[in-house]
Amino acid sequence: MTQKNKNNNNVNPFNYIAKKYSSYIFDETTKYQKKYDFEIGTGTHATWNNEADAFKHTYMQAQLALWTGKHIAKALGDRHEKDGNTKMGQSKDEENMDKWNNAQGREIAEEIIREYGVSATIPSEKINNIIAQKVMERMNNGKLITKPEDKRIYNEGKSTGQAAPINHIFTPQEIGKMSSEEFSRNENVIMEQLKNGQIKYESPEIDYDNYKNPETGAAKIFTREDISQMPFKEYAKYEKEIMAQHNSIGIPYQKDLPKTAETHSAQKSKKYSDSGKSKSSNSKGGTAEGKWVTINGNHVLIKD
């Protein structure tokens, strides 16, 4: 394993089995507690019914939602709460506290994607620090529940009352709309499908039609095909613009774009076409610099 891969293991939850990921989240909580000085207990109760508990749940769900999408993150969080109820004797108030803070974490993930683009879904220490900062902002503003006695109630989704057909592959959207009872009925199938990769992680929805480059304001998109066909000089010319797009919406394939989206290659072709028409129209007349004429099928400017 390379050093780079070792470093990625410190921030990527999918390099961990469940128990190790739980341990990793605990370590992250204690690390940020030293930075932000929120309330934390001791021993086995370090992150139990206190500010550290609230931070842990909110941070974990924000991170999972960035990597898997909000619906799968919710399913994993709900499963954790079910284990707490059946194996740890968790009270209803404690479950309510955890689910409330989990929902806050998923909101933070959506907020981060709006502000930083799809590059925020790539594991990094920078994004972890942004998550932690936003969790603390919500905690300081009283948006998190830090004690089970809090009277605010987490509103669980209502059951659809529908049974999944045999061999049905669940979608993240279906999972996200399930009540606790409905999720429990389908839990074994959902977890097996997640394990087998049958349930695909969500990608943020991107409005390609109305996209404008953050660097230049240009209403065009560089595709992977555009970049792969660029000579070095052309890439160097557009490098800042390409990187600005990469950090906001990523670099899509042509097939991933709607037909109405304006691409770099399309604009380039249109520019050349318009230029040819302009030269053709000028061939019969003069310009400020001279006259365009056609010689052996080539447009040539005869200067005055």
For residue 79, the model assigns a pLDDT of 82
| Cα gap 212→226, rounded to integer Å | 17
DSSP, collapsed to helix, strand or coil, labels residue 229 as coil
Q: Which residues contact 118 (CB under 8 A, 6 or more apart)?
A: 203, 204, 206, 248, 249, 250
| Cα gap 63→134, rounded to integer Å | 12
Give the residue carrying structure tokens 């199938």. Answer: 189
| Cα gap 283→304, rounded to integer Å | 14
pLDDT tens by residue, 103-134: 999 999 999 988 888 778 877 899 999 999 99
- Give 10-56 as a DSSP string: TT-GGGS-HHHHHHHHHHHHHHHHHHH------GGGTTSSSHHHHHH
CA-to-CA separations, 129 to 43, 121, 123, in angstroms, rounded: 25, 13, 11
- Residues 289, 303 contacting (CB under 8 angstroms): yes
| Cα gap 250→239, rounded to integer Å | 14
Give the residue carrying structure tokens 């953050």. Answer: 214
For residue 118, the model assigns a pLDDT of 77
For residue 57, the model assigns a pLDDT of 96
| Cα gap 245→264, rounded to integer Å | 12
CA-angle at 201, arms to 195 and 256, nearest 5°: 135
Q: Give the tokens for residue 33.
A: 């507690």
For residue 29, the model assigns a pLDDT of 96
Distance of CA 127 to the CA centre of its chain: 11
178: left (phi over 0), alpha (psi -120 to 50) or beta: beta
Amino acid at 142: G
| Cα gap 117→213, rounded to integer Å | 12
pLDDT tens by residue, 160-192: 444 455 567 888 777 777 776 777 777 778 877
Low-confidence ranges of the chain (pLDDT < 50): 1-9, 12-16, 158-163, 282-289
Phi, psi values for residue 260, rounded to 5°: -85, -10
